[in-house]
Structure 1
Amino acid sequence: MERDDFIEMLAREGFQTTVLVEREAGASLDDHVHPFEAKALILEGELTLEVAGKETRYQAGDVFHLKPNEAHSERYGPDGVCYLVGRK
């Protein structure tokens, strides 16, 4: 998905806050939750999310979605990751 299309989609779905997130190569975050819904577009690099015991790898152009308070862990690829995330 392209960045402009993603931003339009977020607006249609009621996401009002958009944040650019950058994580360093090879880093990770253990299980945690966010009090908001999140939908993100990977711009560069890669991210592996583990949700409910299932790992999914996302690369540039991929979109991921997390529900509010959905437990997950994150691992960042060898070049790190940069993604644009909408929150509501």
Structure 2
Amino acid sequence: MPSMNLPSFDQFKQQALAAGFDEVIERDWPPHTVLDTHTHPFAVHAILTRGEMWLTLNGQTQHLLLGSVFELERDVPHDERYGAEGATYWVARRN
């Protein structure tokens, strides 16, 4: 089970900026949102802070819950699906 001891947004942001990410934001997704296969022109490092999501990458689906961390390199095809409560995560982007 993921630890419920989450950093604060400011702590997450400072760590991400120190690690070379140049943008840190909060993303909030409504219930049952589905994003079919797409890519991003930036790398991401994120932590789920509310709800649940399923991330499909290279044919493998991960079920992410509170405190789960995920990373994606830029231009990697992936799908996203969000649960009945929607989801929120903090995401650091390396543009």
TM-score by length of 2: 0.85
Q: Indicate the residue corresponding to 2:55 in structure 1.
A: 49
Give CA deviations for 1:5-43 in whole Å, capped at 9, x if unaligned.
433331221112011101111111000000100111111
Runs (5+) with no aligned partner, structure 1: none
Segments of structure 2 that go 5 or more residues without pairing to the other structure are: 1-5
Deviations 1:34-58 (A, max 9, x none): 0100111111001110000000011
Letter in 2 for 1:62: S
- Select which of 33, 41, 65 maps to 1:35: 41
Look up the match of 2:27: 21
Q: Contact between 1:2 and 1:61, CA under 8 Å: does it hold in 2? A: no
Equivalent in 7, 13, 16 of residue 2 of structure 1: 7
Q: Deviations over 1:43-86 (max 9, x none)?
A: 10011100000000111111100000000000001100001100
Give the TM-score normalised by the residue count of structure 1. Answer: 0.91
In structure 2, the residue matched to 1:62 is 68
Which deviates the most, 4-13 or 31-40? Answer: 4-13
SS in 2 for 1:74: strand
Does the alignment pair 1:82 with 2:88? yes
The alignment of Structure 1 onto Structure 2 pairs a total of residues equal to: 88
Deviant stretches of 4+, over 4 Å: none
SS at match of 2:49: strand
